Copies of this chain bind each other. A is one copy, B any other.
Amino acid sequence: MRVQRIYPPPGREVSAIYENLDLPPAGYHGAARPYVALNMVSSVDGRTSIEGKAAGIGSPTDRRTMRTLRSKADAVMIGAGTLRAERLSLGLDASGHASQPLAIIVTDTGDVPLEEHLIVPDGQEVLILLSDAAPRGVVERFGKLALVMRVPADPTGAVDLDGALRVLEAERGVESIVVEGGPGLNHALISHHLVDELFLTVAPQLLGGSADQALTMLDGPELTFRPTLELRSIYSAESELFLRYSLIHTILNCA
């Protein structure tokens, strides 16, 4: 497999994608919340799922790159809907890794099929970020499978993500998170100015699918806050593109 880094130029062959990446990047000065990078794979027509599942869109190179990004972060986060949709792991390859990132699952209600759908490699801790608005009984359900961190709810009953991230940094020392969807969690994080980077794999596929079945990267109302995206790098391998963007947040403080 030839992998070429083509932007910034000149292109050159590399042995793996993002192998020298640091999260947070060097020179980043810490905030009160962890550094947050989204990582998604989409078809050329913008679809991020086939029958609800992301599996099958990206190539083996994409899956290897996903694990590389996970290895750079303190934690990997998904929304509970993504776990309900398919059986998956949030860890690194089983063998040879000294430390697994913390697996974080965000849920407003506690409807998390942990035993059925989450594959947990040796050495990985699992943390359920549960809204305070969820029924109290659900905590016992997770038993010894996971830590449960109850966090404040916003007025709609959803997890207050800004508050939750701050608690993760303050109480768990989490300084960097890779978020792998789904589109509802991505939309909520971006709407609240909580995303620093976007890693997007564009798989050389056209999928189609009616809008209600085939998800895109973001699910939610049209963004009223539109971050400026700055292209950082492009890698390509066999017509698959690996794009890295920074999100530039211009927050107006209206007095």
Among A8, A44, A187, A209, residue most surrounded by chain B Cβ atoms (within 10 Å): A44
Give this chain's copy count. 2
Which interface class (under 10, 10 to 19, 20 to 34, 35 or more) fits A?
35 or more
Chain B nearest CB, measured from A157 CB (Å): 20
With A6-B11, A11-B10, A208-B187 in contact, do A213 and B217 touch (Cβ < 8 Å)?
Answer: no
CB-CB contacts of A159-187 with B at 8 A, as 1s and 0s?
Answer: 00000000000000000000000000001
Of the stretches A92-100, A109-117, A227-235, the one at the interface is A227-235
Return chain B residues, CB-CB under 8 Å to A190: 206, 208
Task: Say yes or no: B42 contacts A46, CB within 8 Å.
Answer: yes
A239 touches B234 (CB 8 A): no
Which A residues, 195 to 228, have Cβ-Cβ distances below 8 Å to chain B?
A: 198, 200, 202, 204-223, 226-228
A208 to chain B, nearest CB (A): 4
Asked whether A204 and B229 contact (CB < 8 A) given A211-B216, A234-B234, A245-B239, the answer is yes
- List 17 other contacts, CB 8 Å, given A46-B46, A208-B220, A211-B215: A6-B7, A6-B9, A6-B11, A6-B234, A9-B11, A9-B12, A10-B11, A42-B46, A44-B200, A187-B208, A190-B208, A204-B229, A208-B219, A213-B222, A234-B236, A234-B241, A241-B243
Interface residues of A (CB under 8 A from B): 4, 6-12, 42, 44-47, 50, 187, 190-191, 198, 200, 202, 204-223, 226-231, 234, 236, 239, 241, 243, 245, 247
